[in-house]
Amino acid sequence: MGNIEIFNSNNAHDENDLSFDILTFYEKFLRYLNWDPLLFSLVFGLILFSLHLIASVLEEETTKYLIIKDMSFFLSAMNSVGAYLVISATKRLRRFLANLIHLTKANNSDLNETYKKDFLGNRTLFFAFSFGCINVFFAYLFGVKYLFDKDYYLVSTFFFQIFSIGFIGGITVNATIVIVKLIKKVSFAKTLKLDYLYPDKCAGTLFIGNILFVFAIYFIIIGVMIYFFIGHYEWVNLKSDDKNLYVYSIMHFWKVFPFILSGIVFIVPVKKLHVLLKEYKVNELIKVRNRLRYLTDFMFSLDTNESSTKDEIEFLDNYYLKLKNIDKEISELNTWPYNFMYSSTFLGIFLPITIGIIQQLIKNFNKIIYN
């Protein structure tokens, strides 16, 4: 399989050499511009900020600095970060597919077809537009202050950015679903070429944990930004004393939704793979230890007084030590496709944020219920 490192941006091939037909619509646009993804993301965010700023100036003199005061300028930063993350996620998905093909004995055309149909096809656009529209609907439900103040220039740039954030989020969610489907397709003992001597200590499956770890972190990053913005923008329907409990509940669900996705992405897709790795580890340990037991019994049966058997015993002893080393390698095998760095990093970020959010939610709902 080879030691293929997912984190290395120059891995496997030069992205510029990729066939045009395996690129997404936004990657084709980037190639047409011949821009670096980071540069594109920064320019994209700057354009959105400029349009929103111009809209605030066109309204009235009093609204000139409103987008800074009400934190709506932060939408452009969310779009910029989201654009960069989705481009990065797309490249990682493609490398993941290449690694998955190396790991399995499955039909490569089936895996490629899943990628092309579910990610390059219309389904990505369906998810993107759906999440964009849901985002706009929820913003309207929460009560956008510009609508009540009849600042229609600001309304248009505000909703456009809200839609754009949902659009980007929809692409990322669909990419995650594609990854889960690909993992599910190969999560069978007969299709995996597991190797306990593989240096990743996961029998060659660490790259699967890698892609899930990266996507889980992406959702946390976006989740933190969404949580911050929703919590700081002045939503009209959530500011009044007679808050609608259903609207309030939807708002909090939308704030925590990315974190829910993050936890699901990190654990659920690899549960079956975890079972397979456990079975593989146990079976390989049984094989090696049966062999060790046989060698031990055989060496005890030899007559050590005969000079002719000394060389044989020495040979068998060396063989025994090699088997012991193999036994040690298998014993240290992880039965989840994660190493300590991935597990500790994710839990170190996810758990404190989750605990803090839960505490805040309890506090907020207590205010609504008892006030």
Q: CA-CA distance, 242 to 123, in Å (whole number)? A: 40
Q: CB neighbours (10 Å) of residue 310?
A: 12
Contact 67, 161 (CB under 8 A): no
355 inside domain: no
Quick: pLDDT tens for 99-142. 998 888 656 778 888 899 999 989 999 999 999 999 999 999 99
C-alpha closest to that of 251 among 235, 265, 274, 266: 235
* Amino acid in position 103: L
User: Which residues, including other chains, have CB under 8 Å from residue 37's CB and lie 6 or more apart?
Assistant: 30, 84, 87, 88
233 inside domain: yes
Question: Given a cut of 70, is residue 315 above it in pLDDT?
Answer: yes
| The predicted structure's pLDDT at residue 371 | 57
Question: Given a cut of 80, is residue 202 above it in pLDDT?
Answer: yes
Q: CA-CA distance, 326 to 328, in Å (whole number)? A: 5
Q: CB neighbours (10 Å) of residue 132?
A: 22
| The predicted structure's pLDDT at residue 9 | 37
Full-model pTM: 0.86
Quick: pLDDT tens for 245-274. 788 888 889 999 999 999 999 999 999 999
| The predicted structure's pLDDT at residue 361 | 78
Q: CA-CA distance, 331 to 237, in Å (whole number)? A: 58
Provide φ and ψ at 130, rounded to 5°. Answer: -65, -50
| The predicted structure's pLDDT at residue 271 | 92
Confidence of residue 12 (pLDDT cuts 50, 70, 90): very low
Mean pLDDT (the chain) is 86
H helix runs in 60-151, sequence order: 66-69, 74-103, 108-118, 122-142, 145-149
Query: What is the pLDDT averaged over residues 213-231?
Result: 94
36 inside domain: yes
Confidence of residue 168 (pLDDT cuts 50, 70, 90): very high
Query: What is the pLDDT averaged over residues 86-101?
Result: 92
| The predicted structure's pLDDT at residue 128 | 96
Question: Given a cut of 70, is residue 313 above it in pLDDT?
Answer: yes
237 inside domain: yes
Q: CA-CA distance, 130 to 146, in Å (whole number)? A: 24
Confidence of residue 59 (pLDDT cuts 50, 70, 90): confident
Query: What is the pLDDT averaged over residues 235-242?
Result: 73
Domain limits at 99?
15-269
Rounded to 5, what percent of the chain is helix, strand, coil? 80, 0, 20
Question: Given a cut of 90, is residue 285 above it in pLDDT?
Answer: yes
**Structure tokens that stand for 213 in this block:** 């770890």
Question: Given a cut of 80, is residue 173 above it in pLDDT?
Answer: yes
Query: What is the pLDDT averaged over residues 174-192?
Result: 86
Q: CA-CA distance, 4 to 18, in Å (whole number)? A: 18
C-alpha closest to that of 99 among 212, 23, 247: 212
**Structure tokens that stand for 316 in this block:** 């068998």
285 inside domain: no
| The predicted structure's pLDDT at residue 246 | 82
341 inside domain: no
43 inside domain: yes
Question: Given a cut of 90, is residue 60 above it in pLDDT?
Answer: no
Domain count, the chain: 1
Q: CA-CA distance, 237 to 235, in Å (whole number)? A: 6
Give the single-character DSSP code of 22: G
Q: CA-CA distance, 67 to 53, in Å (whole number)? A: 7
Confidence of residue 11 (pLDDT cuts 50, 70, 90): very low
60 inside domain: yes
